[in-house]
Structure 1
Amino acid sequence: MVDFLAAAGAGAAAAPPAWLTWLPIIGMVLIFWFLIIRPQMKRQKEHQAKVSGLKKGDQVVTAGGLVGKIAKVDDTYVEIDLAQGVRVKAIKHTIGDVIPPGGSPAND
């Protein structure tokens, strides 16, 4: 009789299936993918497209906040006219944004 009760108690406390224990972890990975990783990859692709499409005469904002007009584009560097007679050489990937024609920066 005692063996029957022990067997019945062991059967009632059986562990859940293994896939069920992994379900919360898989859910968290999916949440991270759709809320963090995927949008970051999309922004990175957009920035890469902007940088590869830079041309002379585009008005840009650098990552440091400098606003100027592109004077020369190279494979790695960009020369930017900040003011009359003031030209800086910047790494292409430090360009933060391209200002559309007719648009003005927020601080003007």
Structure 2
Amino acid sequence: MDFLINLMPVVVVFAIFWFLFIRPQKQKQQEHKEMLSKLEVGDRVVTIGGIKGVITVVEEEELKLEVAPEVEIGISRRAVGRKDNENTDITEN
């Protein structure tokens, strides 16, 4: 019985860590994975390296981004950090 009472604080601390850190991180990873699977031509994205561009070609594991007028780069799908919701045009500069 004493063993269960001594184990209780450890279980409570683990539960707190689960709900505050582990569970939200897993949900965020799942949302990012879902976003990557739904990328399509015309989406504005920002890579994990900070490069902004518009998707011009979507292949299974690779994308082509137009980063300037008539300048395209190839990147891995996993290199996309997020969708860019800004309404900026890459031809403005």
TM over 0.5: yes
Once the two structures are TM-superposed, the CA of residue 104 in structure 1 deviates from its matched residue by 4.1
Amino acid at match of 1:66: I
2:16, 2:79 → 1: CA distance? 30
Amino acid at match of 2:70: G
1:59, 1:78 → 2: CA distance? 12
Aligned residues: 88
Greater gyration radius: 1
Structure possessing the higher relative contact order (Cα contacts under 8 Å, 6 or more residues apart): 2
Paired residues for 1:21-60 under 5 Å: 21-60=6-45
3-state secondary structure, aligned to 1:69: strand
> Which sections of structure 2, spanning at least 5 residues, go unmatched?
89-93
2:58, 2:12 → 1: CA distance? 45
> Which sections of structure 1, spanning at least 5 residues, go unmatched?
1-15
Runs of 4+ in 1 over 6 A off after TM superposition: none
3-state secondary structure, aligned to 2:66: strand
Paired residues for 1:1-108 under 5 Å: 17-100=2-85, 103-104=86-87
TM-score, normalisation: structure 1: 0.76
